[in-house]
């Protein structure tokens, strides 16, 4: 593993690291913020999954997360959103290909050789962090924005016992019934039916999440119709899932929205991680 940069940040260290990924068959880059407590021993970790077109860098530089993570003594990992490189398949459209991995394991050509973001995030990258950094693998939480909110919710509900809490900013909630989902499932998985295992609203009805859950979305979100927040709300009600789904008056889909409520989300996760 290669360390690309390390910067002192709120008493801790914001690092950027690159490694060869067995899952994705290419070099992958991630950001990792370690609070001051990591110098003394393992600390809890919050995973932050970003949205369409993003890299590891977007939330790392725009979300304002490090200050609150340092206050609560937790690490934050900012993975990339897809495999990248000259040999990695891509598409001219912003919502397919590089920058749009959708947190699934692709089974179809030309995506299957590299687009294995589910394995990368559920198995490979956690193992790398466990072995290389002062991270407590028994204290994990997950959050994300938009496509990353979709990833956070689906990983949390599909890996029972892995995460102590889950939250999301403007998540894609019902991708099997949205153009943000159907298109990607057709391309990566060969059909929408195969995407049912990666649909947060369906997973909520089938399994739910055994822990604290928080979802925020702005009432002026530019992509409201694509997110299908209503489907997740209905599924939570049907399952009687404990949690909060908050509509934030006047906010849109941008990082201005994410940064406005990042303090809330990190405090929410810190309560579960330090319990």
Residues involved in catalysis: 146, 221, 253
Kind and range of the H or E element at 154?
helix 147-158
Alpha-carbon span 127 to 237, nearest angstrom: 35
Structure tokens at 246: 């908050």
Alpha-carbon span 2 to 200, nearest angstrom: 35
Q: Is the peptide bond before 110 cis (omega within 30 degrees of 0)?
A: yes
For residue 256, with 0-12 CB atoms within 10 Å meaning exposed, 13-18 middle and 19 or more buried, which class applies? exposed
The SS3 of residue 59 is helix
Give me the count of residues in the chain: 275
């Amino acid at each position: 593993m290669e360390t690309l940069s390390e910067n002192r940040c709120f008493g801790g260290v914001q690092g950027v690291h690159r490694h060869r990924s067995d899952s994705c068959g290419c070099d992958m880059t991630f950001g990792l913020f370690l609070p001051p407590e990591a110098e003394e021993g393992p600390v809890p970790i919050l995973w932050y999954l970003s949205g369409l077109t993003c890299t590891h860098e977007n939330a790392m530089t725009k979300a304002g997360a490090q200050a609150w993570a340092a206050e609560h003594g937790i690490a934050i990992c900012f993975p990339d959103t897809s495999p990248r490189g000259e040999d990695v398949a891509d598409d001219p459209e912003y919502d397919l290909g590089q920058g749009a991995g959708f947190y699934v394991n692709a089974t179809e050509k030309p995506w299957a050789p590299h687009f294995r973001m589910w394995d990368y995030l559920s198995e490979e990258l956690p193992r790398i962090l466990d072995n290389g950094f002062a991270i407590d693998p028994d204290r994990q939480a997950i959050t994300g924005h938009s496509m990353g909110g979709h990833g956070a919710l689906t990983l949390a509900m599909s890996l029972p016992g892995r995460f102590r809490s889950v939250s999301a900013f403007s998540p894609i909630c019902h991708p099997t019934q949205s153009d943000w989902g159907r298109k990607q499932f057709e391309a990566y998985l060969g059909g929408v039916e195969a995407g049912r295992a990666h649909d947060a609203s369906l997973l909520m009805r089938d399994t739910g999440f055994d822990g604290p859950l928080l979802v925020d979305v702005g009432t002026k979100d530019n992509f409201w119709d694509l997110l299908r927040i209503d489907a997740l709300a209905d599924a939570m009600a049907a399952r009687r899932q404990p949690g909060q789904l908050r509509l934030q008056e006047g906010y849109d889909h941008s990082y201005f929205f994410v940064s406005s409520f990042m303090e809330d989300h990190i405090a929410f996760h810190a309560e579960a991680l330090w319990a």
